[in-house]
Amino acid sequence: MRVLFAVSAWPGHYFPLVPLGWALRAAGHDVRVLCAESEVDPVSRAGLTPVPVLRGLDLLLGARLINLLGAHRGNWPYPAPPLHPRTGEPLDLASFDFGAWHEELRPVLLEHATRSTDAAVSYARDWRPDLVVHDLMSVEGPLVAKVTGVPDVLQLWGPVGTGDDYSPVGGGAPEPAVPVDTSGAFARYGVGEMGFHHVDHVLDPCPAQLRPNGPEPRIPSRYVPYNGPGSAPLDVPPRGGRPRVCVVWGRSATRTFGATVNKMPQVVAAATGLGCEVLLLASPADARECGPLPESVHVRTDLPLSLALPGCDAVVHYGGGGATMTSVVAGVPQLALPCGFDQTLMARRITGSGAGLDIPNWEADAEGIGGALHRLLTEPAFTGSAAEVASSANELPAPAEAVLALRDLVAGG
């Protein structure tokens, strides 16, 4: 088969596709990855073949724009204002003319969307794939599948599906997934507006305890963690007699919401206050924000989370799909401090399964974080539930078996 992946310009969104790409290649199938120029390096380092023709929405700009729209409507619970979508600097909401700025931006975004969909369709018509697989934020994937008449498969990155509403930060009515009308870009191909939620099948890595909503036929596929390349952590000291807590806080949250959501200092203070060892996965700059660190805090840069979690008793993160699902299959109780978007829903599903706890980021302080961590480390129910969810997740069909299902899907037309 010729399988065309179409990915959005955010590595955490498409990293769950990487093990499927490996399985397809190992089975003798040809895999190409439609991506933006910015994703050539991470796609190549994953061992897949990039096709850098996409010129669509800058997802960081889009996320900041949605935050700004929420603040404009009164849904912004953080003490600091949202970031300017282009500059990343905090805004003065009182003086910023949101309406005029958005009207100026809309034609630019539409031009980018049109240019990107045209390039994707042109390549697909030339290469003629048998199947299109994409992530949840890919605009081009569903369109290419419909235009070329091949099956369209969505790979979920965690316990959130096409039937779930992504509430804005602070609650209120759901904001649009795409902050610009892209119907013109799709209508040119006679298929109507595709948006994000018009797919044929879904590859779902979630066990029954975390099942997302969505009407599409579901192809279960085990979550195999890929958090980027990295070597085995040979320099991490052996565990002492104390609980070990892993704290992972990528750059995405602060780049999207601002420094106000960086709760690493509070988490480290809470964990060390409980007498825990801390394995802190952070850049040196982020680690410095935590102040002087005791010997019980081990800082590691560029260590994939999947290699850090064995031997940990709990993990703290901001609720992204990669951290959530990597922790699920590792069977480690989770404390999520979600900042917004789909993070809130995923965190609540983990809490609902009994495998963790969540605190909205804007409500999280050292005392609340410490209390939640204490519960995770001392109440056996959390460890038991995390193990049960992990067992269910790891019993799902491996990516190699999902390849067989995809082959049957193509054979059936």
Mean pLDDT for 358-368 is 96
pLDDT at residue 96, rounded to an integer: 86
Q: Cβ distance 247 to 279 under 8 Å? A: yes
pLDDT range class, residue 170, cuts 50, 70, 90:
low
Query: Which of the two residues, 100 and 46, has the higher pLDDT score?
Result: 46
- Give the C-alpha separation, 270 to 370, whole Å: 5
> Would 2-223+396-411 and 244-394 be classified into the same CATH topology?
yes
pLDDT at residue 84, rounded to an integer: 92
Mean pLDDT for 166-191 is 65
Architecture of domain 2-223+396-411: 3-Layer(aba) Sandwich (3.40)
Query: Could you report the per-residue pLDDT of 94-136, keeping only the tens digit for each?
Result: 888 888 887 888 888 888 888 999 999 999 999 999 999 999 9
Query: Which of the two residues, 236 and 307, has the higher pLDDT score?
Result: 307
The pTM for the full model equals: 0.94
Query: How do the domains of the chain map onto residue ranges?
Result: 2-223+396-411, 244-394
Low-confidence winner among 38-52, 79-93, 97-111, 242-256 (lowest mean pLDDT): 97-111
pLDDT above 70 covers what percent of the chain? 94
Query: Which H, E and C letters describe the chain, residue by residue?
Result: CEEEEECCCCHHHHHHHHHHHHHHHHCCCEEEEEEEHHHHHHHHHCCCCEEEEECCCCHHHHHHHHHHHHHHCCCCCCCCCCECCCCCCECCCCCCCHHHHHHHHHHHHHHHHHHHHHHHHHHHHHHCCCEEEECCCCCHHHHHHHHHCCCEEEECCCCCCCCCCCCCCCCCCCCCCCCCCCHHHHHCCCCCCCCCCCCCEEEECCCHHHCCCCCCCEEECCCCCCCCCCCCCCCCCCCCCCCEEEEECCHHHHHHHCHHHCCHHHHHHHHHHCCCEEEEECCHHHHHCCCCCCCCEEEECCCCHHHHCCCCCEEEECCCHHHHHHHHHHCCCEEECCCCCHHHHHHHHHHHHCCEEECCHHHCCHHHHHHHHHHHHHCHHHHHHHHHHHHHHHCCCCHHHHHHHHHHHHHCC
Cβ count near 243 (within 10 Å):
19
Nearest residue to 123 (alpha-carbon basis) of 195, 40, 53: 53
pLDDT range class, residue 196, cuts 50, 70, 90:
very low
Cβ count near 95 (within 10 Å):
6
Query: Which of the two residues, 318 and 286, has the higher pLDDT score?
Result: 318
Strand order in the sheet with 356-358: 297-300, 277-281, 244-248, 314-317, 334-336, 356-358
Most confident of 13-27, 154-168, 188-202: 13-27
CATH of domain 244-394: 3.40.50.2000
